[in-house]
Amino acid sequence: MAKLNPPSVGAVQVQVRVKRQFSRRHGGAWKVAYADFMTAMMALFLVLWMMNASKAVKASVTGYFHDPRGYTQKLGAGPSNSNEGLMVHRDNVADVKRQLQQALERMPEFKTIRENVLFSVTGEGLRIELLETEQGMFFVSGGPAPTVAGERLLHTLASELGTMPNRLVVEGHTDARPFRNARPEAGYGNWELAVERGNAARRLLHSYGIRPDQIAEVRGFADQRPLDGAAPEDSRNRRVSIVVRFGQ
């Protein structure tokens, strides 16, 4: 019976080399399939997100894909323009309100002032009211100087509002309690305090990011437009209001 000769060492090495080359060539095929699967899942999540998005978000996405350059210029965005925020209008005011609230909630001290910051939507725009306490929450009681809490809050608001193309109105309000020895024709009274607080808030807003041309008006109403007409001497009637006017 013929005796088979064992394979030579060189043949074994050739076989091993072939197996290793085969393994390196085909071992990564699963990665391609996995990448395709993850891409499909991402597309699915995007579709589900768009189905549940608000009308304002859908309009923004649609406008961007129809004309990316023109749409970003319409919003005041882009690398050559500092206005990177959405223009506030009636269709997206709820989203902007939520954005501002989230920015304020990141302030460490916001828990203590939450009840004194009031958001509302009027025919003119989004109104942000900074309501005073008896001791003075945002401004020193009886004067136009801001407190530390007031300055920090205006800083946060300016950082957000300064990115938007909308124009702003700043208002000063007081309660109905008169200043001692003040008369309509003489002395320092509620009219002076309302105007000076509005201007103090305007100066701080400019210092922290509001553009020079973004303020449309500074108004002083004294006690003529109380927040609570049934309690004209309530300290919450003393307030500074910032109105984000609706854009076109």
Q: Give the chain's domains with CATH numbers.
A: 87-245 (3.30.1330.60)
Largest Cα–Cα separation, the chain: 134
What's the one-letter identity of residue 227? L
Q: What is the pLDDT of residues 203-246, one digit of tens each?
A: 999 999 999 999 999 999 999 999 999 999 999 999 999 999 99
Residue 194, C-beta contacts closer than 8 angstroms, at least 6 positions apart: 171, 172, 173, 174, 220, 221, 222
Residue 82, C-beta contacts closer than 8 angstroms, at least 6 positions apart: 162, 163, 211
* CA–CA separation, 224 and 146 (whole Å): 22
Q: Is the pTM above the cut of 0.95?
A: no
Q: What is the pLDDT of residues 122-178, one digit of tens each?
A: 999 999 999 999 999 999 999 999 999 999 999 999 999 999 999 999 999 999 999
Tokens of 52: 């549940």
Q: What is the pLDDT of residues 89-114, one digit of tens each?
A: 999 999 999 999 999 999 999 999 99
